[in-house]
Amino acid sequence: MNKSLRYIALLAILPLFTTGLGTDYFTDADALKSKGTGTSQYGSSTNICGLDLCSNYPGGKVAWQAEQSNRYTPVDPVEEKSIEESDESMEMTEADLGSVLRLSRTNVPATIPLHQGYYEGEDVYFIITDSSDPTHAEIITENQGWKVELAPLLKNTPEEALSKTYMFTNGISGDGVHGFQGEVFTSTPAQADVYSALTSHVHVTWNDDSTPRVLDSDTMIMEAAENNEITLTRVNVVLNMPQIVWPEGQMMVKEDKILSDVTPYGGGQVLDIDTEEMNVTFIAHRGWGPDGRTIYYIVTDATPSGPAGMMGVVSSPTSASLIANSAAVDLYQFKNGLTGTGPLGFQPGIAVGAPGDSNYSPMWRIFLIGWDDPENAQLLETIDDVNAYKEAGLINIGIARPMDSDHIVNCPFIDPFQ
């Protein structure tokens, strides 16, 4: 068969090629429905032809459908006969077409600086990805040479979703946020019922008549405070500080470290942990921001335990308290429609906020989009797209409730190429 004609034939049926992938982890819930954000030009009584209103298309939907069925390029009758007599099969498969939405650089390595701190006298290694406060975001970005994103919504995090962390403002010089000894944590992922990557911020300041020394546990800090050696000051700042290595364990390291555009989400999100060079390499996944811009995100922890285990990240039950809290924002993933590189095997997801937006947060409340007619699914890239197709009655949206539980994922948006 003439290669150029075969290519034309492939292009003609490409918009219609879709597949489905079921999942036992996610179900829709009528109790919580996403209202979406942004504006839409579409009304609920209209229909969509491709990516346009049928009412804007000459001849309406019937004419548009007729055009879709006649998109093969005409060929010479003699040449057409030779094609029909060719031994090559005309049956099209996914292997012929390739993945409909196999984006480039879908999964890329992202190397992030590690910090060393303490829990009960032992070492903890962690990263800092987000800050509710611009001053701390700037200070930490400069100190670690890697950008900390500003996430103002984190200041709304309830106490039950925070872990208390001590940060030193003077005393022994070190790798701490403020240039002194490392931070002291009050929990690790081994204490799952109280651990959170989101940390409340307590400043530790040595008093003038005291002799500074390394304090490496909550107990030592409390004793020093009772002896009037230090002053403790609660600061209204929340940092996202996921722990990578802790006394009782570490994040799962993916066995297959060769990344491709179809690398599965399962089996771990970390490619390498180097406590000598003080960095950790995550897989950064590609998706869309609310206006269609490209974003990349990593995954550090999640609740409930089922999805956390499937992705190979820390289980963080305390995050469930964010399900109706403004510190978490909506992220849409697709459960059917166009085959693609999203976590469920379909097109990549769309977030309602991205770095630089006032409504950005690394804590994501997952909603699932399902096409009523998956075979005629279209590519959605923006929140306005989501709203438009929802109002047109072409998609349904429901909150993800794996294991019949509240589902929150810590997915910091990062720049993997910095």
pLDDT in tens, 89-120: 445 444 444 446 677 899 999 999 999 999 99
Domain count, the chain: 1
Tell me the average pLDDT of the chain: 83
- Evaluate whether residue 251 is within a structural domain: no
Statement: residue 134 has pLDDT above 50: yes
What pLDDT does 28 receive? Answer: 38
Statement: residue 73 has pLDDT above 80: no
DSSP, collapsed to helix, strand or coil, labels residue 229 as coil
Percentage of the chain exceeding pLDDT 70: 76
Statement: residue 68 has pLDDT above 90: no
Q: Tell me what the mean pLDDT of segment 30-48 comes to.
A: 34
Q: How confident is the model at residue 240 (pLDDT cuts 50, 70, 90)?
A: very high
How many angstroms separate the CA atoms of 273 and 410, rounded? 19
What pLDDT does 27 receive? Answer: 41
Statement: residue 56 has pLDDT above 70: no
How many angstroms separate the CA atoms of 318 and 408, rounded? 10
Write down the residue that tokens 């003439």 correspond to.
2
- Evaluate whether residue 221 is within a structural domain: yes
How many angstroms separate the CA atoms of 360 and 278, rounded? 28
- Evaluate whether residue 155 is within a structural domain: yes
Statement: residue 314 has pLDDT above 60: yes
- Evaluate whether residue 67 is within a structural domain: no
What pLDDT does 53 receive? Answer: 52
Statement: residue 296 has pLDDT above 60: yes
CA distances from 190 to 124, 136, 216, 297, 311 (A): 12, 28, 18, 25, 18
- Evaluate whether residue 161 is within a structural domain: yes
Instruction: Record the pTM.
Output: 0.78
Q: What is the pLDDT of residues 335-381, one digit of tens each?
A: 999 998 888 989 999 999 999 999 999 999 999 999 999 999 999 99
What pLDDT does 67 receive? Answer: 63
Comparing C-alpha atoms, which of 306, 272, 302, 299 is closest to residue 285?
A: 299
- Evaluate whether residue 296 is within a structural domain: no
Domain with 134, as residue range(s), is 111-246
What pLDDT does 264 receive? Answer: 84
What pLDDT does 104 receive? Answer: 85
What pLDDT does 101 receive? Answer: 64
Q: Tell me what the mean pLDDT of segment 231-260 comes to.
A: 96
Q: Tell me what the mean pLDDT of segment 75-90 comes to.
A: 45
Confirm if 72 and 9 have CB atoms less than 8 A apart. Answer: yes
- Evaluate whether residue 38 is within a structural domain: no
Contacts 24+ apart (CB under 8 A), 214-221: 214/172, 214/181, 215/166, 215/181, 215/184, 216/118, 216/120, 216/121, 216/122, 216/184, 217/118, 217/119, 217/120, 217/121, 217/184, 218/120, 218/166, 218/184, 218/186, 219/120, 221/166, 221/184
CA distances from 17 to 130, 162, 292, 345, 376 (A): 40, 45, 23, 14, 9
- Evaluate whether residue 6 is within a structural domain: no
What pLDDT does 48 receive? Answer: 52
